[in-house]
Amino acid sequence: MFGSMFSTPEATARTGDDAWLQAMLDFESALAAAQADAGIVSAGAAADIAAHCRAEEFDPAAIGERAVSSATPVIALVKDLTALVGPESRPHVHKGATSQDVIDTAAMLVTRDVLGLVLDDLRSAARECARLADEHRDTVLVARSLLQQALPTTFGLRCAGWLTALDETIAGLERVPLAVQFGGAAGTLASLGTDGTAVLTGLSERLGLAEPVLPWHTDRTRIAELAGALGAVSGVLGKIALDVELHAQTEVGELTEGKPGGSSAMPHKQNPATSVLITAATHRVPGLVATLLSAMPQAYERAAGAWQSEWEPLTELLRLTAGAARRTRELLSGLRVHPERMAANLELTRGLVLAENAAARLSGALGRTEAQELVAELCRRTVDRGSTLRAELLAEPRVREVLSEQDVIAATSASDYLGAASDFIDRALAAHTGLEKR
């Protein structure tokens, strides 16, 4: 009932029982083929094994039930596969491998399949951010710090910030090393004699995974890097969703989702439902990342419990990140921007957000301390009188001795106090274009 909200149909399928099972069978098939290439098993036996490495020939539930007694599903899987092949092929099923080789390599294959989906959605989301950044480079809104109005900025710069964060986490995800695992019972491949590394090379090539320097049974840096990269992606997606939720508040009204959600009780509600789902998914991610990181210390050559603790958190982490990435893509593509509300909210303080600019323009003649104190006094008058900072500046003799009317107008014009905002947008767009062309 809840799964569809927090993942995607494609990611759910690619991380489901059948997907994991097929990935494990892909390992067994590629292992037999690599050993045939090395002359360890016959080509006929390898072909026989491969012919039966199809998930539809197996019962994942039954394998799972039998896994309890050995703390691994691989023993049951190998037994079932052995029963399916011909008598001459049976001695060669799972030859030289151990359960962890199968599951770790399967984890890499499952991850690769899901990361393809995630990266596609992230790149599309980044392109939407680039579009919004360019379209709204001159759309002025108030920046907020500690949830309070701060200084003028542009919505384009906000979107450029989203873009840069997405691009950087995409690059991090692309760098995650997905490598085959093959070390046998204790990481020596002793049962294969001197042919072990040749089989490792062939196995890596057939599965399209990186060939590790040596087996990584209890070196979990790959899993940790994957968890960290997915966690960083999730954090960026959560930040975008949070910004949209805040901008979409009734009292703010600067953004609305293209397809807002309703309420079971209040017909008038226009809830940021997509942002809510992204937020809910990304809030669950740090705990999963922590679980995978906490499993890194693993004893000797093979772990007792720590390794087994990774399987479900990794699966859930992939699903949640995929769901958040897809929802973010949808959110940004339909996002509705309301410049008129941005302008209205910028005027709520009647110019006080330009106090820094006014003080800076006065400091050359009055000195920094006196300028700050004078503008602070005028800000208090603005609040007390319900006037505007511009009006108070124009009415103050000490100001007019230094600044002309045009100077005061410029000092209290939000569009004239954006600093390098446009330049930063250009830099973000240029960097993004460079990544797109790789």
Catalytic residues: 263, 302
Amino acid letter at 155? Answer: F
Residue 259 backbone dihedrals phi, psi, to 5 degrees: -130, 75
Interacting residues of 409 by C-beta distance below 8 A, sequence separation 6+: 390
Look-up: residue for tokens 């001459």? Answer: 88
Apex 13 CA angle, 286 and 228, nearest 5:
25
By the 8 A CB rule, do 153 and 142 touch? Answer: yes
Q: Name beta bridge partners: 153.
A: 141
Look-up: residue for tokens 């939720």? Answer: 245
DSSP letters of 76-101?
A: HHHHHHHHHS-TTTGGGTTTT--HHH
For residue 179, the tally of other CB atoms under 10 A from its CB is 18
By the 8 A CB rule, do 339 and 139 touch? Answer: yes
Question: Mapping DSSP to helix (H, G, I), strand (E, B) and coil, where does residue 56 land?
Answer: helix
> Dihedral through CA 187, CA 188, CA 192, CA 197, nearest 10?
90
